[in-house]
Amino acid sequence: MTQLAELKQYTTIVADTGDFQSIKAFAPQDATTNPSLILKAVQKDEYRPIMERVAREHAGKSVDAIVDHLLVAFGIEILKVIPGRVSTETDARLSFDTQGSIEKGRELIRLYEAAGIPRERVLIKIASTWEGIRAAEVLEKEGIHCNLTLLFSLPQAVACAEARVKLISPFVGRIYDWYKKSSGTDYTGADDPGVQSVKRIYTYYRKFGYDTEVMGASFRNTSQIVELAGCDLLTISPELLQKLAESDAPLARKLSPEQAQAAQIERLDLDEKRFRFLLNEDAMATEKLAEGIRAFCADAVKLDGLIAALAK
């Protein structure tokens, strides 16, 4: 049995791509997208026609509105080849705008439902800022499920769980990148700080009975994935899915609710002031959150530029 096949016994596999062909090849349950992945996809010959069609069909609308239609168009195509859910990201420029994020989430769901896609098959991705978490809390009460992304710390995860968010995406690889750069150490296996962060969050959730799903994200190598076997979900790039599919090395379950229940940990009490203080105290989480928002904003601007050029 391949590592990918074994992993599927313990964990729901999610494709981290906007490439439909890759999604078909690995038969994941769900798929996630973000501004960077969509920007990458629409620059490929096989996907550019989707962007051109959307721009043509919605000519006369604002660039912002056309981009919303483009994101949903990709989501609809992805849902044709997976049995589960697709994650569609809100504009990263709304990361500190609670009301703006709420309105964007509602609009994306409106577009999906107008196309005949039930909201249960869509997760709205929002950055794990205090404002983003508050937006997700409102959307969840309306039956619009959310995927809180750019998550790098336990306080962010706890705030999401207490807001009854459906799913979180802690970023393993970006945490690893920060610690590798700051310490000069090339971490492997269970010593990887990104792996440890996700294990800590998973253990906390299962220990205290939260329903929020944990989906490890942003992997740099298959070792990180193997160490998180048993996590609720893992979203993995096509390149790493291929490596798992080609390997028959042993893979054992590393995370389980039973292990989490036995852990000796204390609850973390949070309000806005404590959340902001603890996040600020964590240099890695503060820097990677800011860096991630800036990067997604930059790609959103590039995507806007492509749409604007077509809409002339």
Expressed in percent and rounded to 5, the helix, strand and coil fractions of the chain are 60, 10, 30
Closest CA to 263 of 207, 205, 214: 207
273 is catalytic: no
Three-class secondary structure of residue 277 per DSSP: helix
Rounded Cα gap, residues 126 and 117, in angstroms: 20
Please give the helix or strand (H or E) that residue 53 lies within, else none: helix 48-57
- Report d(CA 31, CA 15) in Å as an integer: 5
Q: Which residues are CB-contacts of 53 (< 8 A; sequence separation ≥ 6)?
A: 73
Q: Say which of 8, 40, 61, 125 is annotated catalytic.
A: 125
CB 30 within 8 A of CB 83: no
Task: Write the single-letter amino acid at 43.
Answer: Q
Given a contact cutoff of 8 angstroms between Cβ atoms, the answer to whether 74 and 23 are in contact is no
Report the alpha-carbon distance of residue 110 to residue 19 in Å, rounded: 24
Q: How far apart are the first and last CA of the chain?
A: 53
- Structure-token pair, residue 128: 């794990």
Q: Which residues are catalytic?
A: 125
